[in-house]
Amino acid sequence: MATDPEKLVVSLSADIRKYENSLNRAMGQTNKAAKSIETRFAGLNKKINGGFNALTTGAAGHQRHLRNTRAGHVVLFDI
């Protein structure tokens, strides 16, 4: 028959194991959420960069058009 200290050791060991399992589950959930956030931000970053590229390309084209119009000629095709 187990003595009180032996029962305590077994009980503590089981509690520690449960605690470690809970921590491992929480770590897995945290890593999954972090990966999801990173993926979402990577997609947003691509969209934002694409928007800025389109904006600067459009602004450069508009600026070129204004410069050519002021010079007295209109460019129909910019090759």
pLDDT digits (tens, 9 = 90+) for 36-73: 999 999 999 888 888 777 777 766 666 776 666 665 55
Place of tokens 């090759």: 79
- Please tell me which residue, 5 or 39, carries the higher pLDDT value: 39
pTM score, whole prediction:
0.51
pLDDT digit string (tens) for 14-29?
Answer: 899 999 999 999 999 9
pLDDT of res. 65:
65
